[in-house]
Each structure stands twice: as structure tokens, then as C-alpha cells.
């Protein structure tokens, strides 16, 4: 089935979405050439990868609309040290009336037992047709109580059916293939596994066939597989109409063939949505189905979260959970946040400046995948800054050799450009400047910048093992991160602070005691061939 897709009219000025006062990126409809009668219209409000960003969640609550609201997963983030954030995330899902969600990897940053407790307090159903427990998991020698192992597979559904305006809509869910390399504590889940992609596609098709056998011809997949895998699912199955996606943090502001519009094995259109990461966008997918459940008209609209205000009633509800935030200072000027992990991030560089200052270190670093929000112009409070650094990763200070630093950057850059979604992302820095070749994905140069602004070239071909730098970073990068080599064991660190980057950033802003300008760029140089 071929669909005519008209070109986007870029001359539309501030189109209005669903009667709100806020403007969205509104895309034109695509429709088939045929005249279809007996149609059914469905609007789907969606989010993905909100990562426990409470301030953005409160703004989303002011704008998200739809006959059916769904999530592509990774609603939450952080382990048992972030229990208040977990409770606030549940409150968001319940207030927003998110009916179902894909099973994201960050949902399992915590133990299985804790996640079951979380699910028991939320109305949203978590779906994953490809999540499994090993047959003998109860006999594992690891301490069950310590790791909170439980019969989680019995709590996760593969699919469900919802009634919307008198029509039955089938929902199927998946979790990511790389789930257990993307959780905070992989050792909690050694008794679990996820089916490989080919098996996952077969399981999805089996679930589709089961739903179609019940007379359901409108089916949505909630996927945390990542975009390239979603394309494979769209093209290698039949019966799926739309995929509410997550995991690779793509941002689709419209519907484009070959990007987020594909065709199933039987030639029917399949639309993929994804709204970036950290709740900076949310969306509404408007669909018109013919009598056979085939999409004949569609429109994908995105709302930029920062254009929406926090409802004061919701603010009070979340303050009851998280505590009232402290006003820290004023952001005079801040650029829009980068949309990709391979861009220099001045917001993250500023946080590195804070770490370097508070710890009196030579160098501070932070990976771009760790930053989950950005500085907004205007008054800023402690919760805004916590949203920027939501993980509770203690700050560590250690002496690290020049050779170890160079090898860290070489590996991080290579991994970033090789992996889907460019994970783990480039490193934000303070006290360093480095250059890279984005075509080859390799480090090409590095300099040390002292506190007086003096630059010393580092020979990356022959870095010194005897030249040591006092380094400040979080424990994830220093000693525990799956994406990075161990720079220093925790027992060898000079100091481990009992808090994370957010506390240091608050202290730094108070120390500066003036309106802040976020413009810390020029520390990453991209060389072009």
C-alpha cells in the first residue's frame, strides 16, 4: 500500500495543538489516494525516556493529550538511592494516565523486588514479550535477599487490550536486547535474560496473531529495542500499525518515509515515534484507520516541554514527595541543550567547572550520557540542578596518569562513534581541551589548561605514565562504569564525597554569587577532513 506524503509546509506559524495556547511542531497529514469510509480516529499521547526528570514531567502534565497515552519505556532512573524519584515517577504516570509502557533498562536500575513494589503502586502496565528468567534462578548461589531477586517474569505481561471509544486496541511491549549492560547494577539480574532480535520478532508476531485471532486489528507496539531494531520489526512482521519507541533517543518531529515510516511484510504502513530523551519533548500521534484496521491518515505532533508551565497543584503534589527545593541563583543566559551525545555540551562543561572548583582539582570530567537536563534561563533551584544530574554517583578525587587519561578519551570516543545512539557520549571537561576526528571516531589531540588559562600540549602518541593529574569525576567513571576503564579503585582515591555533582553545582553557583551565563564551549574541537 502506497501513501502520498505531502511536503511539510514550513510557512506555518505557531500552529495550535488541541486547543492549547502552546505551539507544537505540527506536521501535515499523509493520506492514501483512496476514499475510505467507516473510519476510526485515534489520538495517542506519548512519552519515552523521561528518565525520572520530575520538572519536565510536571510540564508534560500540562500539555500531554490523547485518547490513549503510552510510553516507550525508561520512565524512571536510578537505584535504591533514588526512592523519592521513583515515587514521583509513579505519581507522574498515574496522573498522566499512561495506560502502558515498554520495559526499559532503567526500570531495572533497582532490584527486581523493588521494581515489583513500584509496579504495585502504579496504574501503568509494563509490557515485554521478550523478558525471561532462567529456569533455575531460585537456586543461584548469589544471595537472593541482597540482590532482591524475585519472580519478575510473572509480573511482566507480553500484551494487553484496551478499550478506546468502543474499539479494542492491542498493545504489545518489548525490552531492549542489551538490557543488562544498560542497568546500574547488572549483578542484580544475572538470573534474567532477553531474547535475541530474531526470536523477539517471532514473539512479537505470535502476540500479534493472538490479538488478531480475537478480532483486534489495531495494534501498537511499545518498544525499547532502539530505532534500528524497530525498523527490523516494522518490516519483518505484519499487523503492527505504530511503534511507540525509545532507548536510542531519536527525535522524530514529523512522518518521513525511510526515517519513521516503513511498510510491513504485507505492505501496510508502520509509523515509528520517538521524542528524544529526558522528557524534553512529548508527542501526539493522530491516526485514522479504515474498517480493516489499516492506517489511511496520520499526523505526528511534538511539544517542546520547556514551553509548558508547571501546574501549581501538581507542583504541590511533587513537593510533598520530594521536599521543597531551595532557590540557588539566577541563570542569565543559557543555550538550547544539544540534541545528540556527540555535540559539545556547555551545560555539562559548567558542571565540570563546579566539580573542579569545589574539589580543587586539576581536571574534571563527565560523560554526556550522564547529563539528563539543562540549565533554564531564570531562577534556578536545587531540583532543577538535581534533574541535570539525577544519579546518586558520589564524586571521587584521585591522581590519574596522563597515559590513563589519554587512553580513557581514546576508548570513549571510539565507543561513542561505533554504538547506536552514540553511547556513552563525548566527555565534558574542565581543565582539558581535546580534538577528535568524527569521521574516524578517534582522538587527535589534547591539552591541559591550568587555572590561569595556560595551555600545555599533551603528546597523545606518547603520553607520560609519570605525569599525574588530580582528577575529579563521579564513581561511575572513576571505578565502576561499564563503559569506561577503571581510573582508580575507590580505596585508592584521595577523597570520596558523600554526594553527587548537583550538590557541588549548587555550591559553585552560590560561590559565584552573580547571574550565571552558560557559554562554556571550545573545549571539544571537531576536525574536518
Domain holding 367: CATH number?
Answer: 3.90.780.10
CA angle 383, 387, 388 (to 5 degrees): 120
34 domain residue, yes or no: no
Same domain, yes or no: 303 and 336: no
33 domain residue, yes or no: no
Same domain, yes or no: 301 and 432: no
pLDDT value for 32: 53
489 domain residue, yes or no: yes
Residues 6 or more apart whose Cβ sits within 8 Å of residue 352: 364, 365, 366, 428, 429, 430
CATH number of the domain at 76, please: 3.60.21.10
20 domain residue, yes or no: no
Same domain, yes or no: 139 and 174: yes
Dist. CA 492–CA 498, nearest whole Å: 16
Task: Single out the residue of 199, 219, 200 nearest to residue 209, CA to CA.
Answer: 219
Task: Give me the number of domains the chain comprises.
Answer: 2
pLDDT value for 5: 34
Same domain, yes or no: 261 and 378: no
Domain boundary among 260, 276, 307: 307
What's the N-to-C CA distance of the chain in angstroms?
A: 43
Dist. CA 70–CA 42, nearest whole Å: 13
Domain assignment of residue 145, given as a range = 42-307
Dist. CA 369–CA 422, nearest whole Å: 9
Same domain, yes or no: 205 and 272: yes
Same domain, yes or no: 227 and 293: yes
Dist. CA 1–CA 485, nearest whole Å: 50
11 domain residue, yes or no: no
pLDDT value for 33: 52
Residues 6 or more apart whose Cβ sits within 8 Å of residue 302: 24, 25, 251, 252, 253, 275, 281, 282, 283
Same domain, yes or no: 290 and 378: no
**pLDDT 10s digit of each residue in the chain, 529 long?**
334 433 322 222 232 322 233 333 444 445 555 555 689 999 999 999 999 999 899 999 999 999 999 999 999 988 887 888 999 999 999 999 999 999 999 999 999 999 999 999 999 999 999 999 999 888 877 767 778 889 999 999 999 999 999 999 999 999 999 999 888 888 899 999 999 999 999 999 999 999 999 999 999 999 999 999 999 999 999 999 999 999 999 999 999 999 999 999 999 999 999 999 899 999 999 999 999 999 999 999 999 998 898 888 888 899 999 899 999 999 999 998 887 889 999 999 999 999 999 999 999 999 988 888 889 899 999 999 998 988 788 999 999 999 999 999 999 999 999 987 788 899 999 999 999 999 999 999 999 999 999 999 999 999 999 999 999 999 989 987 667 899 999 999 999 999 999 999 999 999 999 999 999 999 999 997 6
Same domain, yes or no: 364 and 222: no
pLDDT value for 4: 40
Dist. CA 245–CA 223, nearest whole Å: 5
Same domain, yes or no: 329 and 299: no
36 domain residue, yes or no: no
Same domain, yes or no: 231 and 356: no
Same domain, yes or no: 466 and 390: yes
pLDDT value for 233: 98
Amino acid at each position: 500500500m502506497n501513501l502520498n506524503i505531502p511536503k511539510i509546509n514550513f510557512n506555518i506559524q505557531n500552529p495550535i495543538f488541541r486547543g492549547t495556547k502552546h505551539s507544537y511542531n505540527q506536521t501535515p497529514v499523509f493520506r492514501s489516494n483512496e476514499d475510505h469510509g467507516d473510519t476510526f480516529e485515534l489520538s495517542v499521547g506519548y512519552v519515552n525516556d523521561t528518565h525520572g526528570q520530575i520538572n519536565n514531567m510536571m510540564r508534560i502534565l500540562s500539555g500531554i493529550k490523547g485518547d490513549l497515552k503510552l510510553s516507550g519505556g525508561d520512565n524512571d532512573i536510578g537505584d535504591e538511592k533514588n526512592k523519592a524519584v521513583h515515587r514521583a515517577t509513579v505519581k507522574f504516570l498515574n496522573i498522566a494516565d499512561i495506560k502502558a509502557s515498554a520495559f526499559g533498562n532503567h526500570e531495572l536500575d533497582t532490584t527486581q523486588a523493588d521494581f515489583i513494589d513500584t509496579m504495585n503502586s502504579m496504574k501503568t502496565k509494563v509490557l515485554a514479550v521478550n523478558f525471561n528468567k532462567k529456569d533455575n534462578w531460585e537456586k543461584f548461589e548469589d544471595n537472593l535477599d541482597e540482590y532482591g531477586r524475585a519472580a519478575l517474569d510473572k509480573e511482566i505481561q507480553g500484551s494487553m487490550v484496551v478499550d478506546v471509544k468502543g474499539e479494542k486496541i492491542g498493545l504489545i511491549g518489548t525490552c531492549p536486547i542489551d538490557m543488562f549492560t544498560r542497568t546500574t547494577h547488572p549483578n542484580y539480574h544475572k538470573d534474567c535474560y532477553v531474547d535475541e532480535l530474531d526470536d523477539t520478532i517471532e514473539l512479537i508476531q505470535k502476540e500479534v496473531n493472538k490479538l488478531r485471532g480475537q478480532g483486534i486489528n489495531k495494534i501498537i507496539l511499545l518498544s525499547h529495542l532502539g530505532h534500528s531494531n524497530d525498523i527490523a520489526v516494522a518490516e519483518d512482521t505484519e499487523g503492527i500499525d505504530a511503534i511507540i519507541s525509545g532507548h536510542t533517543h531519536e527525535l522524530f518531529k514529523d512522518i518521513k518515509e525511510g526515517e519513521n515510516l516503513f511498510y510491513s511484510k504485507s505492505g501496510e504502513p508502520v509509523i515509528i515515534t520517538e521524542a528524544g530523551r529526558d522528557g524534553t519533548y512529548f508527542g501526539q500521534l493522530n491516526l485514522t484507520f479504515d474498517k480493516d484496521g489499516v492506517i489511511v491518515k496520520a499526523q505526528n505532533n511534538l511539544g517542546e516541554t520547556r514551553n509548558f508551565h508547571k501546574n501549581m497543584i501538581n507542583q504541590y503534589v511533587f513537593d510533598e514527595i520530594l521536599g521543597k527545593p531551595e532557590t540557588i541563583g539566577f541563570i542569565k543566559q543559557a543555550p538550547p541543550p544539544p540534541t545528540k551525545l556527540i555535540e559539545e555540551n556547555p551545560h555539562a562543561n559548567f558542571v565540570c567547572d563546579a566539580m573542579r572548583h569545589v574539589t580543587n582539582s586539576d581536571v574534571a570530567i563527565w560523560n554526556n550520557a550522564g547529563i539528563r537536563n539543562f540549565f533554564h534561563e531564570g531562577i534556578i533551584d536545587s531540583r532543577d540542578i538535581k534533574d541535570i544530574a539525577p544519579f546518586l554517583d558520589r564524586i571521587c578525587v584521585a591522581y590519574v596518569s596522563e597515559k590513563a587519561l589519554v587512553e580513557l578519551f581514546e576508548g570513549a570516543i571510539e565507543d561513542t562513534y561505533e554504538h547506536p545512539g552514540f553511547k556513552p557520549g563525548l566527555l565534558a571537561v574542565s581543565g582539558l581541551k581535546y580534538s577528535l576526528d568524527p569521521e574516524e571516531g578517534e582522538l587527535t589531540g589534547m591539552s591541559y589548561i591550568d587555572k590561569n588559562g595556560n595551555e600545555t600540549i599533551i603528546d597523545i602518541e606518547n603520553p607520560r605514565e609519570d605525569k599525574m593529574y588530580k582528577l575529579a569525576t563521579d564513581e561511575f567513571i572513576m571505578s565502576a562504569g561499564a563503559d569506561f576503564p577503571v581510573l582508580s579503585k575507590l580505596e585508592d582515591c584521595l577523597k570520596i564525597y558523600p554526594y553527587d555533582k548537583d550538590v557541588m553545582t549548587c555550591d559553585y553557583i552560590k560561590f559565584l554569587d552573580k547571574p550565571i551565563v552558560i557559554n562554556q564551549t571550545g573545549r571539544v574541537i571537531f576536525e574536518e577532513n
